[in-house]
Amino acid sequence: MKENLIAFLTTSSLVTPEQAAEIAGHFSFREIPKNAFFLEEGKIANNYLFLEKGFMRVFAHDIDGNDVTTGFAGPQQVVLEVSSFFNRTRSQENIQALTDCEGWGLTYDELNQLFHARPEFREFGRHILVKAFTTLKTRMLSMITETAEQRYAGLLNTNPAIFQHAPLKNIASYLGITDTSLSRIRKEFSKK
Amino acid sequence: MKENLIAFLTTSSLVTPEQAAEIAGHFSFREIPKNAFFLEEGKIANNYLFLEKGFMRVFAHDIDGNDVTTGFAGPQQVVLEVSSFFNRTRSQENIQALTDCEGWGLTYDELNQLFHARPEFREFGRHILVKAFTTLKTRMLSMITETAEQRYAGLLNTNPAIFQHAPLKNIASYLGITDTSLSRIRKEFSKK
DNA sequence: ATCAATTCTTGCCAAATGGCAAGCCATGAA
DNA sequence: TTCATGGCTTGCCATTTGGCAAGAATTGAT
């Protein structure tokens, strides 16, 4: 039942299979139907989620009120608004299900209890945070050094599934361009 | 002697002044002369630094070998290449002193011992990591939603000291533009 | 003091991206 | 079925940014 969660916990090799099974025991099943919000801006994130099925989109609003996609999440990934969750502050971001989603979750209190009781899960938690940070740094570097077309090609390569679930305008803002430009880039790209 | 470090540890209010004094006791004094490298790409980051005086630049190289500034550090900040330090992997980034620097440092082993012995320092460590992550997310959002001129104005506002220590071409790549464009933006900006 | 290297600016032009509006297409609701 | 909505593309043109090269200014080394 929780095989995927257990497997995920052990991949880092910071947690043994036995430990993973016990840790997984504390997670509860969560369903988020399509279009429902896992987190709404203005609220304090209280849920840590291991996403097993489905896709989600993370987005914020810029000064003019425009919708800006800051991230996507897919199966076998942790979904978490780090800042709001750990600092207990109001989130500036929304997390919405692009498709029907299923996964395993912890509340803030549950996670802290588990961090306290399970040093290896604490290490695992740090590992996840470091990974998210590294991923974001890589994305920042690609934002600085690559053209929009290169970033598009990169996303198509690393996360092709997103194109089947998110509208292009969301993908465009994630890439830092307008939907108009993305459309043109796709046209050029398909010629090659 | 270590007042600044102690004050820094207590600002988060995760560490009491007494605890901070004891934690600070484990840090050793570090000097990095101007232009020296605190970390070189290809090596494994082994030093955690609280910078007390001076400025540093973090940079990587893109595919064409161009120098890209990914960050700056100034007084009262932690200097750390998170990914290499925690994963014990070779760094893709360099950290170089822009001016003569002084601060207080821990090695990887020292930090881990302290994390183990001092839960409050562990919490503090997480707090620093979360803050760095949040800062980077904000920067990513500004990269997507703001013009180069707005980003320039923002940096001038939040970190004016950098302009006295780093050459403009470094600041340009940090902002995601060429030095030519930055020069023009500065010209326009000074008219206002 | 001199020379070399680096930094910064500027002019010229090209390339990349954006803004807007129109139109087409697919989807879902009534 | 019809209608309304949202998603995607496209044409036209404006704006932003880049590439390159030249030159001035600054810095650093000898």
**Chain A residues near residue B83 by CB distance under 8 angstroms:** 130, 133-134, 137
Chain A interface, best mutation among B137, B169, B170, by max A CB count within 10 A: B137
CA of B42 to C1' of C2 (A): 40
pLDDT at position B27, please? 98
Q: What is the pLDDT of residues B95-105, one digit of tens each?
A: 999 999 999 99
Contact predicate A123/A48, CB 8 Å: no
Q: Do A86 and B176 touch (CB under 8 A)?
A: no
| Strand blocks (E) in B64-158 | 67-73, 77-79, 94-97, 101-107
Tell me how far apart the alpha carbons of residues A183 and A76 are, in angstroms, rounded to a whole number: 30
At A23, list the tokens: 């840790």
Cα–Cα distance list, B153 to A35, B137, B190 (Å): 37, 18, 11
Rounded to 5 degrees, what angle do the CA atoms B117, B120, B123 make?
A: 110
Chain C bases having any atom below 7 Å from a protein CB: 6-11, 16-21
Read off the pLDDT of each residue in B80-84 and give the average, rounded to a whole number: 98
CA of B179 and C1' of D20: distance in angstroms?
13
Q: Kindly state the greatest CA–CA separation across chain A.
A: 56
Question: What pLDDT band is residue B68 in, cutting at 50, 70 and 90?
Answer: very high
Tell me, what's the pLDDT at B58?
98
DSSP A100-128: -EEEEEEEHHHHHHHHHH-HHHHHHHHHH
On strand D, nucleotides with any atom < 7 Å from a protein CB are 6-11, 16-21
Q: What is the pLDDT of residue A56?
A: 97
- The residue of chain B with its CA nearest to that of A116 is B119
Nearest CA to A139 out of B82, B137, B42, B58 is that of B137
CA of B185 to C1' of D3 (A): 50
User: How far apart are alpha carbons A143 and A128 in whole angstroms?
Assistant: 23
**Confidence check: pLDDT of B160 > 80:** yes
Distances (CA, A) of B29 to A26, B95, B98, B114, B145: 44, 18, 19, 17, 41
B65 band by pLDDT with thresholds 50, 70 and 90: confident
In angstroms, the CA of A178 and the C1' of D12 are apart by: 17
Please give the pLDDT value at position A68. Answer: 97
Q: Do B133 and A134 touch (CB under 8 A)?
A: no
pLDDT value of residue A64? 85
pLDDT at site B190: 84
Q: What is the pLDDT along chain A (192 residues), one digit of tens a residue?
A: 899 999 999 999 999 999 999 999 999 999 999 999 999 999 999 999 999 999 999 999 988 889 999 999 999 999 999 999 999 999 999 999 999 999 999 999 999 999 999 999 999 999 999 999 999 999 999 999 999 999 999 999 999 999 999 999 999 999 999 999 999 999 998 876
State whether A140 and B70 contact (CB < 8 Å): yes
Task: Say how far apart CA A86 and CA A108 lie, in whole Å.
Answer: 8
Report pLDDT for A65. 85
Quote the mean pLDDT of chain B.
Answer: 96
* A contacts of B122 (beta carbons < 8 Å): 122
Question: Cβ of A150 < 7 Å from strand C?
Answer: no
**Looking at the partner chain, which of B63, B68, B129 has a beta carbon nearest the beta carbon of A129?**
B129
Alpha carbon distance B105, B30 (integer Å): 6
Q: What percent of chain B has pLDDT over 90?
A: 94
| Per-residue pLDDT reduced to its tens digit, B97-139 | 999 999 999 999 999 999 999 999 999 999 999 999 999 999 9
